Amino acid sequence: MHDASWALAPDGTNPEIVAWVEQLAHLFTPDTVVWCDGSQRERDELNRKMVAQGTLVQLNPELRPYSFLARSHPADVARVESRTFICSEHEADAGPSNNWIAPDEMRATLGGLADGAMRGRTMYVLPFSMGPLDSPLSRFGVQVTDSPYVAVSTGIMTRLGAEALQRITPGTDWVRAVHTVGAPLAPGEVDVAWPSNETKYISHFPESREIWSYGSAYGGNALLAKKAFALRIASAMARDEGWLAEHMLLLKVTNPRGRVFHVAAAFPSACGKTNLAMLRPSIPGWEVETVGDDIAWLAPDAWGRLKAINPEAGFFGVAPGTGASTNQTAVDTLWGNTVFTNVALTDEGDVWWEGLTDTPPSHLTDWQGESWTPSADRPAAHPNSRFTVAAAQCPTMSDDWEDPAGVTIDAIIFGGRRATNVPLVVEARDWDHGVYLGATISSERTAAAEGTIGELRRDPFAMAPFCGYNMADHWQHWLNVGDQLRRSGRVPRIFQVNWFRKDDDGSFLWPGFSENSRVLAWILDRVNGAAPAVAGPLGWTPTADSLPLDGLELPDGAIDKLFAVDATAWTAELDDTERFFAGFGDRVPAKLKRQLAIAREHIAVVAEREQHDASGAAPAAA
C-alpha cells in the first residue's frame, strides 16, 4: 500500500496514469490517495479498517476463517439497469436495449456530481489485469474508488496490484474506471460503506473506453472490472478487434474415454450458471472441471480455433439456492477467505441463506441486522445476496484455467429459464441457426436485476444488460466470427438447453443440478460423433435412446413433455420474436430474418400435422 500525495505514484508508473489520477484527485478532493499493490498486508489493513468502522462483521474464525459479512443499504442491493447508460457518440450505436445519454451531457452531469464527492474519504487506485497477466487475450484497467469494500472485492475478482501496473507501459491500452459512493463526509462525520442517496449513474463511454459509476456500492454497479469493463466496454473492444466478450461460463469436460472438451455456456444471471460451472456429474466416467463461472473472452487463433479465457480471478456468486444438494462444490469453496454480502448471520458467528441447509437455524440476524426466526414472513438473506471468493480456492478449478493461450472451445450452449415451449436440449443446424438461438433467448426475470420476478424478458446471448453497443450489431458480429471460423473448418457446435420446463401442475419436468450432466454428455457425444439425433422443427434433438437416462427416475411422459412442440404456442412465440426483431429496425442481420422464416416454415408443418391428427386424416408429406 502506497499512501502519498496526489501526484506521487510507485516508481515507474506510466505518466498517463499518474496524470489521470492527479486530475481526478483535484476533482473529487479526497483526503488522501492510496495506490494499491495487491498484497495480503494491504488487504488485511483494509479489512481491519472496515471492521473498525462497522462496514464489515468478521465471522467466527473457527467456523469461517478470515471471512467477513457486509450489509448494504436496502436501496443498494442489485444492478440498477434503469440507471445504467451506454454513452456512445451516436444513439443508434447504443441500440434500443440500452439506455443512452449523449457523452457530453453525461460528462457534464457526472462532473458536477463528482466535484468534492470524495471529501473526507480515501481515493484508492486499483491497477488490474483482466485475464492472466501475460495472456495475449488479457486487457488492463485502472479503477479509482472511495470504497474500501470495492477495493478488497476488486483484489479478489482481478489480478490487481503492482505487477499489473508495471505492464501498463506507455502505449499500452488500458480502460479508465471511476467510482464513488457519492456521499462526501462533513468534518468529524463517520464513514459509511453504502450511500443512501437515490442519485445513481453507471455510465460507459465505449469509444474512449471509460466507465464512471456514481452513487452505488453494490458489486455489479461498483466492481467496474466485472460487468462494466469485462462485458460492456470489452464487448465494444471485441467488436472493433475481432473477438468476443460474453456472459459465459467455461467448462473442461473429460469423457469416459479420456477425451477432453471445453464448453462455453451463456445463461442469464441467477439461472443456474454457477451450478453448471461447478457441476458434479451424476453419471459415471464423466469429469467436469471449472474454467470460469460468469464471463468468457473468446478469439479465433492463428489456426482458426476459437480460444477462450476467463478474464476474472474470483467468483461473485448468488448465495440463495446454493447448498449441499445443489452445488456442493460452491459450498466447499466458501470454507474461508470469503466476503459475504447481505446474507444472514448465525448466533455462532457463521453465515446462512435460504437453500444452504434444508432446515433453517432457530434464530438468525437477517441481512438488515434484525432478529429473525423461521416464522418470520421475510427471507433471512436478501434474494440477491452474494459471496466473493478467489477462483483458485474452488476445488474443481481445472489445471488449464489460467493458461495464457486459453482453451479451445468445442461446444457453445445457450439457456434460459423457461417453463414452457423450449425443449430440454436442441442442437443448432449450423452456426447461423445457433446465432439465431442465442439472439432469441428469453428468460424469466430473477432477483439479480430490477423488475418483477417471473416476468418474461428477452435476453439475447444472456447479454441484454451487458452489451456495450447495439445488440443487432452484436448478432452480426457473431455471424462475422462464424464466417472466420468456417474458413478454417474449426466451428464449435451450438446448442440450446432449458432445465426449467414445467408440467401442467407447476412441477419441474427435469431434476436439474447434477443430472444436467446427462444432457452435457449427449452434447459432447454429438461433438465427438458418438450420439445420434433426429431432425426436428427446432433443430436436432436426441433420439429415443441416445440421451443417457439409465438410473434416472422421471415421471411417466416427462421426456415427451420435455421435447414437445406445440404449434400454437410456437406460432405466438415466433410472432413475439418478429416484434422483438422489429425493435432493432434495419440493423437486424438478414441471416437472422431468414432463420425466423425457416422457423415459421417448420412450425407450419407441425401445425398441419396437429390438424390432421385432430381430424384423423393422414398428414400430407412434409
Residues marked active site are found at 271
Query: Would you say 442 is a known binding-site residue?
Result: no
Flag whether 513 is marked binding.
Answer: yes
| 275 annotated to a ligand binding site | yes
317 is in an annotated binding site: no
273 carries a ligand binding annotation: yes
Angstrom distance (rounded) from CA 349 to CA 136: 44
Q: Strand, coil or helix: what is 427?
A: strand
Q: Residue 526 annotated as binding?
A: no
List, as one string, the DSSP characters of 568-603. HHHHHHHHHHHHHHHTTGGGS-HHHHHHHHHHHHHH
Determine the Cα–Cα distance for residues 226 and 228; give it in Å rounded to an integer. Answer: 6
* 515 annotated among ligand-binding-site residues: yes
Going along 284-423, which residue ranges are E strands? 287-292, 296-300, 306-309, 314-318, 339-341, 344-346, 351-352, 364-365, 371-372, 386-390, 407-408, 411-415
272 is in an annotated binding site: yes
How many angstroms from the chain centroid is the CA of residue 395?
A: 21
218 known member of a binding site:
yes
Pairing of strands 539-542, 364-365: unpaired
* Ligand-binding site membership of 88 (annotated): no
Tell me whether residue 227 is annotated as binding. Answer: yes
Amino acid at the residue 130 = M
386 marked as part of a ligand binding site: yes
Is 501 part of any known ligand binding site?
Answer: no
Residues 6+ apart with CB under 8 A from 87: 94, 100, 101, 102, 103, 106, 203, 204, 205, 206
Category of 194 on φ-ψ map: left (φ > 0), alpha (ψ -120 to 50) or beta: beta
Contact 142, 177 (CB under 8 A): yes
**DSSP H or E run through 260:** strand 260-266
Cell of 454: 417471473
**What CA–CA distance (Å, rounded) separates 554 from 338?**
38
Would the annotation count 271 as a binding residue? yes
**DSSP 3-state assignment of 164?**
helix
Encoded amino acid at 168, one letter:
I
Q: Rounded to 5 degrees, what angle do the CA atoms 285, 357, 58 make?
A: 110
DSSP string covering 312-328, please? -SEEEEE-TT-STTT-H
Known binding-site positions: 79, 218-220, 227, 247, 269-275, 294, 384-386, 417, 513-516
Known binding-site positions for substrate: 79, 218-220, 269, 384-386
Known binding-site positions for GTP: 270-275, 386, 417, 513-516
Known binding-site positions for Mn(2+): 227, 247, 294
